[in-house]
Structure 1
């Protein structure tokens, strides 16, 4: 007689789940979602911005419908718990979450307190909490920052705190919404290693992402959403065999770091193909002895120290470096938004702090901080003049695929859509210098290309631009120059021509090699056949 084997219940089970938000659009609803995730399985949610990925993560951790109110049908269970009808504190025993914007999930003011918060809420013993905090901090290289204030951290460091906090309670399911959006390459390697470790420990992981390269070799299931429905399901092997043309048509980013540089980001290399080269001349921007100091633990420390830097007129400079290197501090100094010393000159004219505010425009890392109007169209036309301002605003929104949301409130949009609204503001400005702080943090391939094209059009007007980015795929799609920042200093600058692309590749490869493992490179089926 054959012995019966007992099938283990899934960690996450969704059966024909539909959800629509109450009172308007606070995200994209979903329809007919069914999926099952067992112990040690990793599922990737992908698709164009606004397709419903974030809503699926909210259903998995119970935020929908308990926090984000709306109408839900179907079944969502985590470790057998009916999430829709359980209290959030009950779901928190099984689920750890990392949001797209980590600041929206913080409850403490310090790193240690934030990592410990979930453990304390679940009533763990003090000695156990201390052990868990130390282990989680070490896992994400936060030990040197353990006694820091959250307000003193960079965006990437905050994201690492959120990941550490989610892992500290040892949940059965970890839900990640765009976890790499603000991370540098070293931190992305740490995130990859953490997901791989959770997988081996039997933790189920549901991750919504646009940047796919760091998940190569870890993911078991790839789920593609379109207009709120699961349009495609692939195993990892099936997804690896997906034709590049089909992947690009679906709006999906490169599947490996190797593909990014081998295919020049799949978007061409405008720096090499542009007929007009950015050269020093009219409207060149110069920075000299630019320094900024901030008080840390009662001691005044330098966070920015740039002896000399020149940005060619009409250039698009990718400013790259580790999280906490001073890139955002530099952006704020350029735009006159913080206390700094030194000189900034435009075409030989020295710009004081007030003049910089009138001359420069900044797209912030968190776009929500600069959205104030009642509608998307009002937001874009806010600084425009002339009788045709409405039409010009609509044209910009159309170019960024935002015209259907022209009358919507900006804060009702998804994270990626808000990011594009802020970029639309930049495209609408006539400022001489525009700085973007991580402009592609929530964008799929299609919208990344739209933003790159918009930035190239801004360049045609002679406007000089700086793009702070950890995204080599985006840098290759539109930037003409690279500046590398380390510990508040510019260590090298170079044009993004053929040799410059090799230098940029070496920079990012070196960051991958500082991780705990080799870069996640898997040979494509075509390369195996050739061998």
Structure 2
């Protein structure tokens, strides 16, 4: 795929690879995949949710078929070794992985131990391990958290730990599956810097993503999967020239940060303005004395303090802030799910913690935590009443493009599909206040728009919604207001009209550009490339 790869053996090579999971579990299989990545090449793997992107990453790092059993044909090799036949511990010398849900790859309970884990497994010298851990912690801004428990971190912070763990080993190939799904803009800029560093060091990088804007100017190749097949290929220049209408027809998100705020994001401004005018005439939802505590160093520490907050009833408020600002803690407190105090006044009813569990609904960041039934339809109808609940449940699934999976087990679906099942639950419960924690992680453009449409539809039924999000593209598509959180407190609230859009753009872009200005650290401060330390010459 590059001039070098014609004269050198590729770091990653897939030759006519097909794979199907045993029993049809774990997601979509793939058919006839052929690709190669040379030293310092970055490939973006994109396509609709459930198209097989995750399967390609599992083939590249050897998890399929070693861990995810199934039938494989063709050949996958990394630095000349056949990963389907080599032991996983041997493949780990060459491949670093970052999963969509970082918790599934953790083996320790503290940050330092997790970042060091791969190096220890590979038998690095203790002094070398310490150097690598410190460098990776600096690169991913983990130094203040290095001695913290993993259980105390936010979703975005955990993703940064997973990236640092992969970086510490200095592999020949880094495989990332939706690495930005739970990251704020500052952390995404850090991720971009890390990928740029790997590229400069000669490391090959394969990234499966829906949020593709941060790879602008870094990705050398864009590979589009559809229904398990590699349907389209573009060079970076070809992809940059792709017409926006064609990009949207393919279900691909904005290609640049500028495209988010000055492209399609403003399309429903008039509809939002009408919703804002209607909301202004209605009563408000009030949050008073809302606090929450968590245990740190053997004592309980207050991590949320919202003295007073009013949001228009029947509005959709985007709750934004950096990773660790307290957004998920706020969501749990609103729904009475953590160690919290305070009240929420909803339609004149002053709700304490126990009452909020019955009146509010939360769509969790990790949708797997709230999926319990044997089928997708059973999951959606679990909290519904009435003789026609099956019909209504199927209607909700149809609106979210999930009706084809009605009889499937929820945990057999892809990450993005599970997220939509959880959102279908929220639509089915008909509660008056719904809080979403990162509802678009793992969603392509089509399904993001479907979720946005479902949220707008709930407004018409008198439901107030709060959406925790690091995704401005989504916020612009359905939210009417913005609330900013920092240090466990709400610092500002504003309507998302023209001036509000500019304020939101300033909020996200200031973090993005601040990290870009920080630039790459001195390469001498980071672990030496695996290719150099191990003498590999792919």
TM-score interval for Structure 1 and Structure 2 normalised by the shorter chain: over 0.9
For residues 298-313 of structure 1, the aligned pairs below 5 Å read: 298-313=298-313
Q: Check whether the contact 2:75–2:82 (CA below 8 A) recurs between aligned residues.
A: yes
Q: 1 CA distance for matches of 2:90 and 2:47?
A: 30
CA deviations 1:37-64 (Å, max 9, x no partner) are: 0000000000000000000000000000
Q: Check whether the contact 1:512–1:518 (CA below 8 A) recurs between aligned residues.
A: no
Q: Check whether the contact 1:254–1:265 (CA below 8 A) recurs between aligned residues.
A: no
Give me the TM-score of the superposition, normalised by structure 2: 0.94
* Corresponding residue number in structure 1 for 2:242: 242
CA deviations 1:333-365 (Å, max 9, x no partner) are: 000001112222113321011110110000000
Give me the TM-score of the superposition, normalised by structure 1: 0.95
The alignment status of 1:394 with 2:394, answered yes or no, reads: yes
CA deviations 1:380-400 (Å, max 9, x no partner) are: 000011111001000110111
Q: Check whether the contact 1:288–1:307 (CA below 8 A) recurs between aligned residues.
A: yes
Q: How far off its partner does 1:276 sit?
A: 6.1
* Corresponding residue number in structure 2 for 1:155: 155
Q: Check whether the contact 2:11–2:173 (CA below 8 A) recurs between aligned residues.
A: yes
Q: 2 CA distance for matches of 1:118 and 1:295?
A: 29
Q: How far off its partner does 1:271 sit?
A: 5.4
* Corresponding residue number in structure 1 for 2:431: 431
Q: Check whether the contact 1:318–1:468 (CA below 8 A) recurs between aligned residues.
A: yes
Using a 3 Å threshold, how does the CA distance of structure 1 residues 277 and 44 change in structure 2: closer, same or farther? same
* Corresponding residue number in structure 2 for 1:529: none
Q: Check whether the contact 1:316–1:465 (CA below 8 A) recurs between aligned residues.
A: yes
* Corresponding residue number in structure 2 for 1:69: 69
CA deviations 1:389-442 (Å, max 9, x no partner) are: 001000110111101100000000000000000000011111010000000000
Using a 3 Å threshold, how does the CA distance of structure 1 residues 445 and 299 change in structure 2: closer, same or farther? same
Q: 2 CA distance for matches of 1:300 and 1:227?
A: 49
Q: Check whether the contact 1:283–1:346 (CA below 8 A) recurs between aligned residues.
A: no
* Corresponding residue number in structure 2 for 1:527: none
* Corresponding residue number in structure 1 for 2:529: none
Q: 2 CA distance for matches of 1:48 and 1:409?
A: 20
Q: How far off its partner does 1:284 sit?
A: 2.6
Q: Check whether the contact 2:275–2:315 (CA below 8 A) recurs between aligned residues.
A: no
Q: How far off its partner does 1:84 sit?
A: 0.5
2:24 is paired with a residue whose SS is coil
Using a 3 Å threshold, how does the CA distance of structure 1 residues 162 and 267 change in structure 2: closer, same or farther? farther
* Corresponding residue number in structure 2 for 1:341: 341
Q: CA RMSD, aligned part only?
A: 1.5
* Corresponding residue number in structure 2 for 1:322: 322
Q: 2 CA distance for matches of 1:460 and 1:518?
A: 45
Q: Check whether the contact 2:376–2:406 (CA below 8 A) recurs between aligned residues.
A: yes
1:107 is paired with a residue whose SS is coil
2:116 is paired with a residue whose SS is helix
The alignment status of 1:80 with 2:80, answered yes or no, reads: yes
Q: 1 CA distance for matches of 2:266 and 2:401?
A: 20
Q: Check whether the contact 2:318–2:468 (CA below 8 A) recurs between aligned residues.
A: yes
2:108 is paired with a residue whose SS is coil
Q: 2 CA distance for matches of 1:399 and 1:158?
A: 32
5+ residue gaps, structure 2, are 520-538
* Corresponding residue number in structure 2 for 1:57: 57
Number of corresponding residues: 515
Using a 3 Å threshold, how does the CA distance of structure 1 residues 191 and 137 change in structure 2: closer, same or farther? same
Q: 1 CA distance for matches of 2:212 and 2:343?
A: 41
* Corresponding residue number in structure 1 for 2:294: 294
* Corresponding residue number in structure 1 for 2:417: 417
Q: 2 CA distance for matches of 1:328 and 1:213?
A: 25
Q: 1 CA distance for matches of 2:137 and 2:488?
A: 24
Q: Check whether the contact 1:111–1:145 (CA below 8 A) recurs between aligned residues.
A: yes
* Corresponding residue number in structure 1 for 2:188: 188
Using a 3 Å threshold, how does the CA distance of structure 1 residues 278 and 156 change in structure 2: closer, same or farther? farther
Q: 2 CA distance for matches of 1:518 and 1:139?
A: 11
The alignment status of 1:453 with 2:453, answered yes or no, reads: yes
For residues 32-43 of structure 1, the aligned pairs below 5 Å read: 32-43=32-43
* Corresponding residue number in structure 1 for 2:140: 140
Q: 2 CA distance for matches of 1:113 and 1:80?
A: 31
Q: How far off its partner does 1:8 sit?
A: 1.0
Q: How far off its partner does 1:265 sit?
A: 2.0
5+ residue gaps, structure 1, are 520-531
Q: 2 CA distance for matches of 1:252 and 1:94?
A: 31
Between 1:118-127 and 1:259-268, the stretch displaced more is 259-268
Q: Check whether the contact 2:276–2:480 (CA below 8 A) recurs between aligned residues.
A: no
Q: How far off its partner does 1:270 sit?
A: 5.7
The alignment status of 1:96 with 2:96, answered yes or no, reads: yes
2:309 is paired with a residue whose SS is strand
